[in-house]
Amino acid sequence: MTATPDAPIPDAPTPDVSQPWQWDEQTWRGHVARVRAGRSLRPESWPGGARAAVALSFDSDHETIPLRDGETRPGKLSQGEYGARVGAPRVLRLLERHGIPASFFIPAVSALLHPGEVRDYVAAGHEVAMHGWIHERNMLLSPADERELAFRAADTLEKLSGTRPVGIRTPSWDFSDHTLAITRELGLSYDSSLMADDEPYELLADGEPTGVVEIPVEWIRDDAPYLMMDRYAALRPYTPPRQVAGIWRDEFDAAYAEGGLFQLTLHPHIIGHRSRMAALAELLDHIAAHQGVWYATHAQVAEHVWKHAR
Ligand SMILES: [Zn+2]
């Protein structure tokens, strides 16, 4: 039996316009343009005529990573607790020894669990900045939920630290289609979750400048990918701590040679262990042996590059 041209074909596939290879040019250009790197904010010079800038950051997630996943059993939570009980104080002592400021991105739930730690950050002159409510995955949330949690987190950090945060690092660097709009509505001056450059840049939203500074991150300059492990998955640390610090040393050396920014993302519950702190201390000694390094919080970097872009 042959079908006549006019007969309906019952099983004809409906065109699926969500398939990327079926997108028209406007569609794929639109996705790329939604949040994009604009002009470079690499400054003419760093404060005090410094040759390069160093911005260290610590994401004080502590118990919020297992909590975010609904993992409420004591075993997993104790790994996070280590970050607050041992890691963060150790990090603070190391920073104090070097006399350098850092930025602490802390989920609001973590800050509520450890309010004394937030006070310690502030007392030592460090920056306290946003890192979600409970380390939620923004890309899984509705825009309304993401917005509500972000505002609640900002209010909570303001209450606990005494200052309204000016910057955000999205938990897990999960940046949704709505994150930039929420960041702007919060009036934040910078984000530190995206990866389009080594140097700071201005974020564009659908091609338009936003006035929001991006202080870019990278998994290369993060302790988690090298040092985390999961008992029931294949995830195992595969690089010894001093080798990890060697990668960061190369990143710093190149930033120094280029007169740029060296930015690092660490976690008290990961880097805070003895053998790893030894590697971090070695890295900080290496940096300290260089003349003309400006150590700054992410907020200070954002403020400086915004005023002094080339
Ligand atoms: Zn985090």
Walk along the chain (310 residues) and give the pLDDT tens digit of each residue.
Answer: 444 445 455 565 555 568 999 999 999 999 999 999 999 999 989 999 999 999 999 999 999 999 999 999 999 999 999 999 999 999 999 999 999 999 999 999 999 999 999 999 999 999 999 999 999 999 999 999 999 999 999 999 999 999 999 999 999 999 999 999 999 999 999 999 999 999 999 999 999 999 999 999 999 999 999 999 888 888 888 899 999 999 999 999 999 999 999 999 999 999 999 999 999 999 999 999 999 999 999 999 999 999 998 7
> How many angstroms does the Cα of residue 284 sit away from the middle of ligand 1?
22
> How many angstroms does the Cα of residue 38 sit away from the middle of ligand 1?
26
Whether the model pTM is above 0.85? yes
Per-residue HEC secondary structure of the chain comes to CCCCCCCCCCCCCCCCCCCHHHCCHHHHHHHHHCEEEEEECCECCCHHHCCEEEEEEEECCCCHHHHHCCCCCHHHHHHHHHHHHHHHHHHHHHHHHHCCCCEEEECHHHHHHCHHHHHHHHHCCCEEEECCCCCCCHHHCCHHHHHHHHHHHHHHHHHHHCCCCCEECCHHHCCCCCHHHHHHHCCCCEECCCCCCCCCEEEEECCEEEEEEECCCCHHHECHHHHCCCCCCCCCCCCCHHHHHHHHHHHHHHHHHHCCEEEEEECHHHHCCHHHHHHHHHHHHHHHCCCCEEECCHHHHHHHHHHCEC
> How many angstroms does the Cα of residue 147 sit away from the middle of ligand 1?
18
Check residue 10 and give its pLDDT. 56
Assigned CATH for 36-307: 3.20.20.370
Check residue 1 and give its pLDDT. 41
> How many angstroms does the Cα of residue 65 sit away from the middle of ligand 1?
7
> How many angstroms does the Cα of residue 169 sit away from the middle of ligand 1?
8
CA 85, CA 88: separation in Å to the nearest integer? Answer: 7
Task: Answer for the pair 204, 36: CB distance below 8 angstroms, yes or no.
Answer: yes
